[in-house]
Amino acid sequence: MFQHVETAPPDAILGLNEAFRNDPSPEKINLSVGVYKDEKGGTPVLKCVKEAEKRLLETESTKSYLPIDGRASYNSAVRSLLFGTEHEVVTTNRAVTVQTPGGTGALRVAGDFIAANFPGASLWLSQPTWPNHPNIFTAAGVPLKTYAYFNKATNGLDFDGMLSALKGADKGDVVLLHGCCHNPTGIDPTPQQWKTIADLIQEKELLPLLDFAYQGFGEGLSEDASGLREIARSGQEMLICSSFSKNFGLYNERVGALTAVAPGQAEAIAVLSQMKKVIRSNYSNPPTHGAAVVETVLTDDSLRTMWEEELAHMRNRINGIRKLFVDKISACGIDQDFSFIQQQNGMFSFSGLNQMQVDQLRSEMSIYIVGSGRINVAGISEANVDRLCEGIKKVTS
């Protein structure tokens, strides 16, 4: 029966992580997978999460199923985090949220919802984008198109290329935008550019889908939501996929949400019913624990303050490392310019290293970087930065 089944290739990023684990070198460096690392190279549980878990353990009274769309107060806390409590989208009840297993779960529910309710619509992805985006939307049966994003010559945004591609989109097409901290490039539009993108979306009647996996990792919780809030103009419809894997460090608890902003409350109710239909046939209803933790932290003043401090610490560490890396690179006399790394946001940067250099770093120095040259900046530390620079000098000279 199974003889005809062929072995699928391993996931490019997670496969690299496995190779790292098996590498016996005591000096190995992992800049591949998208997980925050602290100064010691660990990914510990946040203190606010530990405290919320303590409270939940004491108060939990049942393991009965959640509703299909998850915890109502979690969903409401997610909307407030996205828009603030006073935003018209929130106060007019034209936004609905479903709790999902991680940001990936939110993207897949969005994909199935689009395939079922927007037949004929294409989904536009930035070139490049997170490699799982095409997997998810192809599996959901949504046709894909791409728009330019990265300008290799400037290591910045190819804004003209992006606009001219999106001008070719048809009415009702879906445009996936990274809400902040673009993965893999670390390059985000400026506030003025967000305004232009929002104008174009409105003018061409496109449906924006914001993938928001790094809120708080760029400049701050509300600063990072400014692009999304620019798009959420009066009457504008949109989809938002939230993930709390990074900003709460809840990677293995699978906590996310899909929010749909409809033109009015009646449409929002219909959209919610369709999203619930998708969920019922996928995983029936979401797991409780991670969402209960996020809800507890977001709705308790002292835990929320603790979280914002811990999040700021992670953000500041990454920004400090960007500076340290750029300083060290220039101090060790490498010709290639890496100063753009300091202008980029979030955990990732496109280093500009090519496949051959990446392969050489791995085979000769046990330094693991994704083939595209994307580096997880959080994987760099005071302890490994000199060795990393030494490696980069070796492969670039």
Contacts to ligand PMP by CB under 6 A = 34, 102-104, 130, 178, 183, 211, 213, 243, 245, 256
Our answer to whether residue 130 is catalytic in this structure is: yes
User: Closest approach of Cβ 213 to ligand PMP, in Å?
Assistant: 4
Q: Which of 194, 246, 307, 328 is catalytic?
A: 246
For 58-117, the DSSP string reads: HH----PPPPTT--HHHHHHHHHHHH-TT-HHHHTT-EEEEEESHHHHHHHHHHHHHHHH
Assess contact for 288 and 127: CB atoms under 8 A.
Answer: no
Assess contact for 270 and 29: CB atoms under 8 A.
Answer: no
Nearer to ligand PMP, 243 or 344 (CB): 243
Nearer to ligand PMP, 128 or 172 (CB): 128
Cβ neighbours of 300 (radius 10 Å): 16
User: Closest approach of Cβ 290 to ligand PMP, in Å?
Assistant: 10
Side chain identity at 312, as an amino acid letter? A
Nearer to ligand PMP, 94 or 182 (CB): 182
The CA–CA distances, whole Å, from 257 to 84, 111, 119, 170, 312 equal 16, 13, 23, 27, 22
Nearer to ligand PMP, 178 or 322 (CB): 178
User: Closest approach of Cβ 246 to ligand PMP, in Å?
Assistant: 7
Helix (H) or strand (E) holding 312: helix 301-331
C-alpha 59/C-alpha 14 separation (Å) is 37
Q: Which two tokens stand for residue 141?
A: 């049966």
Q: How many CA atoms lie within 13 A of 270 on its CB side?
A: 7
Our answer to whether residue 211 is catalytic in this structure is: yes
Q: Is 392 exposed, middle or buried, given 0-12, 13-18 or 19+ CB atoms closer than 10 A?
A: buried
Nearer to ligand PMP, 189 or 391 (CB): 189
User: Closest approach of Cβ 254 to ligand PMP, in Å?
Assistant: 7
Side chain identity at 86, as an amino acid letter? E
Nearer to ligand PMP, 209 or 329 (CB): 209
User: Closest approach of Cβ 377 to ligand PMP, in Å?
Assistant: 14
Q: Which two tokens stand for residue 129?
A: 């984008």
Lateral strand order in the sheet of 238-243 = 95-100, 256-261, 238-243, 207-212, 174-178, 123-127, 144-148
Q: Which of 69, 112, 124, 130 is catalytic?
A: 130
Q: Which of 211, 224, 307, 328 is catalytic?
A: 211
User: Closest approach of Cβ 184 to ligand PMP, in Å?
Assistant: 8
User: Closest approach of Cβ 222 to ligand PMP, in Å?
Assistant: 20
Q: Which two tokens stand for residue 109?
A: 């529910």
Side chain identity at 1, as an amino acid letter? M
> SS3 helix, strand, coil % of the chain, rounded to 5?
50, 15, 40
Nearer to ligand PMP, 260 or 392 (CB): 260
Residues annotated as catalytic are 130, 211, 246
